Structure 1
Amino acid sequence: MGLALLSLTLALPAPALPPPSAVQPAAAVQPVAAVDLERFVGPWFEIARIPAWFQNRCARDTTARYQRRSDGRITVINRCLTRGGKVDEAEGLARVLDPTTNARLQVSFVSLLGWRPFWGDYWIIGIDPDYRWLVVGDPRRQYGWILSRSASLEPAQLEAAFQSLERNGYQRSRFVFTPQG
């Protein structure tokens, strides 16, 4: 039965694909040129995000706090309120992949007896010169966040953050706003 199905599958015509000249690969996601980790650490409010399964419980008041560690890594504490008003908190660890720029990090929220088998890309792809907001993404554009030092952004700041995302191939329409306060 399996070989007959395989033979039938191989005999079917391949789906039509556009000619190679018609396929335009998206430009690579580009991290910012440099991040000052001393200015990066501290509290951030989530302004908007691409919905992700690991944030399904979060209804509002989502924040992130980054703290430098003596080993050069960064403690990450994400917190939000659920629909029922309960605090949901996750603690993770970030490591800098590119110490020249500090803009490419990886984050892990899973630890098995101190071993971290899963790391996710966390690239800073937009940042305000005064560190009032920043934009985080990943090379495959699956995840994205706009973070701010305050619970809201002025329209011009929000537009600048979205422009950072769009320059990196993200679609503005994929983002949902996070209610704060």
Structure 2
Amino acid sequence: MRDWLRVAVGLVLVAGTLDLRAQSVTAVPQLDHARYAGTWYAIAGYPSKRLKRCASDVTQLVAEADKASQLQFVEACKVKAGFYDANNITAKAQDKKVLDGRFKITTLWPFTRKYWVFALAPDYSWSLSGSPNRKELWVFSRTPTMSDATLAEIKAKADAMGFSSAKLVMMPQSGH
């Protein structure tokens, strides 16, 4: 009887994992780099080593680069000691012929990782971004705050792609 129970539990765990991976992760099919450029406030994100250092005001500044298929990112946050910590990131379109939401980002050459824009408000007022392997997830807004209804809508989109919105940590913003 015990062996049967172990097999049943194992099958349930495998089925749950397959279901998670079966849900598709897609990037936005078209991304206007000029409209995407500007200041983004991190409303929520998955916990990370870098994020643990941040006390508040997590932002991402995006600028168009010299090449049409490239963006420059500056990620910054106010650390617990009171000063700002910033990282420069180069984002290159994963496919230079298609300007969609798929990028390869470089923080320390030659290492790259995938960064995708999964969902975007029609007016570019919010963005759901992260890694297609579901290890990173960010909710960004053009303003330091976001309505609960909009956040709930974005979380539902993330859950539908197999992310766990329950893991999102809210980012305190001082209101700028």
1:84 deviation in Å? 1.6
| Large movers: runs of 4+ above 4 Å | none
| Corresponding pairs, count | 162
TM-score, L = length of structure 1: 0.82
Distance 1:129 1:20, change over 3 A: same
Matched, 1:147 2:140: yes
| Partners of 1:37 and 1:102 within 8 A in 2 | no
1:53 deviation in Å? 1.5
Q: Match of 2:87?
A: 90
**What is the distance in 2 between the residues matched to 1:29 and 1:141?**
9
Output aligned runs, 1:102-113, within 5 Å: 102-110=100-108
**What is the distance in 2 between the residues matched to 1:20 and 1:163?**
23
Is the radius of gyration larger for structure 1 or structure 2?
Answer: 1
TM-score, L = length of structure 2: 0.84
**What is the distance in 1 between the residues matched to 2:81 and 2:51?**
15
**Could you say what the CA RMSD is over the residues aligned between the two structures, in angstroms?**
1.9
**What is the distance in 1 between the residues matched to 2:133 and 2:13?**
21
Q: Match of 1:46?
A: 42
Q: Match of 2:149?
A: 156
**What is the distance in 2 between the residues matched to 1:104 and 1:117?**
19
1:101 deviation in Å? 4.2
Q: Match of 2:173?
A: 180
**What is the distance in 2 between the residues matched to 1:169 and 1:155?**
21
Aligned-pair identity in percent equals: 25
Q: 5+ residue gaps in structure 2?
A: 1-5
Distance 1:22 1:177, change over 3 A: closer
56, 62, 69: which one pairs with 2:58? 62
